[in-house]
Structure 1
Amino acid sequence: MMLVDQLYIYPCKSMKGIPLKKATTTEGGFQYDRVLMISEPDGTFITARQYPQLLKIETTLVDNKIHLLLPSKQAITINLDDFSQDVEPTQVWGNHFTSHIAPISVNQFISQFLQKDVQVRWVGNHLSRRTKRYCDVAVSFADGYPYLLLNQSSFNYLQQQCPEKLDIRQFRGNIIIKDALPFAEDGWKTIKIGPVIFDIVKPCTRCVVTTMNVETSKLSTDNEPLKTLRYFRSDSEGKIDFGMNMIARNHGTVCLDDPIEVLERQPAKNYIKSFPAEIKQNQQPCTIALNEQIIQGNNQQTILEQLEQHQIAVPYSCRAGVCGRCQILLKSGEVTAMTKAAIKRGNRILACSCIPKSNIEIELVKK
């Protein structure tokens, strides 16, 4: 029998999660899940993709208050009743809606920690944000959908393939199940957990946050686990999936050890299988010319990885060919594109998704 193994909520987007014995579904997700978010003053969201240190902030819940504890042991209590009465424009991944702004003291506390002027936002009691595929389904500050399901067996399979020690918390799931076959969730369409019926919307496309240590916030070596996942969980567009995004049909309480019942199935998504043994054939050295600097590289790693190994910083967010922030100019030479979107107009390419075929010359693009 498949059972619920772990439950998590993340009161503030990108901060530490809270393990629970039971969680109640509400409008937008589990109660208190991602109800707070850090933003630019104009309402654009900020996450651990840009500021990994957010992952080190601990969160706890008491009544209607959320407590934040910094690594320095400085703490602040956030009372949701103290947020602005008026709502302000807010944006998450191009999704525009409104939210409430925290008191000045709260904003200053987080601004001091990040050394940057930011605001803390609250979704409010009446959510104005909707999911992209379901205009009648509300969602809080989560990336796209209210719930994320992870399968412990799928994680165990990944760990067997990955040379680096992983922690399932790197994937920031809400519901972690046990006693299912590895990647059985790929073929599920509708499931029931306790009294709640969930529809599985899509596989969850993963980003650089999965490569960050949940305790130290440091990036893993060699871009793991994304590097390993790319070998067997990458689709034709180069998107890397792990876990399932879900919406709930009804409200109810999900508890640890609740059974999972599969109500409806669907065809599993196809993934390109290309494990390291195949990829490492015909490895050849090459050079990467950037301005007046010549880097000794190879035709196996992405340009982004090789630049980073030589302490050359290129802006990025996802490292999966989705966000487009690592765009560079290819002045000469040829590259192998790992995703369809990796080659742009005007000889612009994505450094995270292109591998040199031989000697290349590149130029960083001014944003």
Structure 2
Amino acid sequence: MAAPLLLTDLYIYPVKSLGGIRLTEAVVEPRGLRHDRRWLIVDERNRFMTQRQTAAMAHLKVAPAHNGFLLSHQERPDMLPLYVPFAGTPEKTLFVTIWDDMVFAWRAQPECDEWLSEVLGQSCKLVYMSDMVRRDVEPDYNPEGQLVSFADGYPFLLIGQESLAELNGRLTEQVGMDRFRPNLVFSGGAAFAEDDWAEFTIGRVAFRAVRACGRCILTTIDQTTAQKNPTGEPLRTLAAYRNQDGKAMFGQNVTTTAAAGPVRVGDTVTVSSYKA
């Protein structure tokens, strides 16, 4: 008898492209796990910043704190950690650009901008997405009109432990799951079993696997050292055997129809339908 599929890890990334917080339980909301990617760092032109262009963002670590989180720079012990609340306030507002979307955002306190500009060595601002903002999932894959936070395109990313193990079996140097920034990690089943899922539940919360996630250069950045792998791994290996339309695929982009609901590490994952 096959081993059951179980949720083994939950992650939120309060600030897009910074470190994650590992949880034992989380609340599923329409635009993602509660507090996931609701904050964003933007440059002087109010355009989003990520590790793709600014690899040094990997040096910024995120730790949970009361009703918020602490940001610290692992190479700058002279900089005191910065406290950021999970929810922003509407004192100052501006429009910011993320990919092809322009959305309304709330400014963080000035000390947040100052701290980030100092540690990243460039002028930047921290902004928050309120519940009043509507940012839609890609229209071609969004018949239900689902929303997304400051994540790239979808509210959740799902990856199987066996998928990472299979990839590591092809690599000279192992990589951790943090290279791929998932929200939902499960065990059981074959490697890349999630590619075939259509509808599934975690505990009592229903999800839909929309499409495979095309990976980028961020996967080549060591999240401890902020250094890019000069050989292009693991992206190079992924591209050699997980290529689809010129992109290296790893993980599934996922939406939910749940208004809200809890998921917990140890919950059973039940697949109810598969892609045609």
Q: Same fold (TM over 0.5)?
A: yes
8 A Cα contact 2:42 2:126, kept in partner: yes
- Aligned letter for 2:218? V
Which of these residues, 64, 69, 72, is aligned with residue 72 of structure 2? 69
8 A Cα contact 2:88 2:128, kept in partner: no
1:185-228 superposed Cα distances (whole Å, 9 cap, x missing partner): 11111110011111111100100111111211111231001110
Where does residue 6 of structure 2 map in the other structure? 3
Which of these residues, 230, 250, 271, is aligned with residue 262 of structure 1? 271
- Aligned letter for 1:39? V
| Residue range with higher mean Cα deviation, 125-134 or 251-260 | 125-134
Counterpart of 2:224 in 1: which secondary structure?
Answer: coil
Where does residue 133 of structure 2 map in the other structure? 127
Work out which structure has the larger RCO, using CA pairs closer than 8 Å and 6 or more positions apart in sequence: 2
Counterpart of 1:46 in 2: which secondary structure?
Answer: coil
Where does residue 241 of structure 1 map in the other structure? 249
Counterpart of 2:247 in 1: which secondary structure?
Answer: coil
1:62, 1:144 → 2: CA distance?
28
Where does residue 93 of structure 1 map in the other structure? 99
**Offset at residue 85 of structure 1 (A):** 3.1
Which of these residues, 110, 113, 117, is aligned with residue 107 of structure 1? 113
- Structure 2, unpaired ranges of 5+: none
1:24, 1:62 → 2: CA distance?
17
1:55-82 superposed Cα distances (whole Å, 9 cap, x missing partner): 1211123343221111123211123666
Q: CA RMSD in A?
A: 1.5
1:69, 1:260 → 2: CA distance?
35
1:304-343 superposed Cα distances (whole Å, 9 cap, x missing partner): xxxxxxxxxxxxxxxxxxxxxxxxxxxxxxxxxxxxxxxx
- Mapping of residues 1-367 of structure 1, within 5 Å: 1-71=4-74, 72-73=76-77, 74=79, 75-79=81-85, 83-133=89-139, 134=142, 136-235=145-244, 237-250=245-258, 251-267=260-276
Counterpart of 2:162 in 1: which secondary structure?
Answer: helix
- Aligned letter for 1:238? G
- Report sequence identity in percent: 28
- Structure 1, unpaired ranges of 5+: 268-367
How many residues were matched structurally?
A: 266
- Aligned letter for 1:193? I
User: Which structure has the bigger radius of gyration?
Assistant: 1
Counterpart of 1:16 in 2: which secondary structure?
Answer: coil
Name the TM-score, length of structure 2 as normaliser. Answer: 0.92
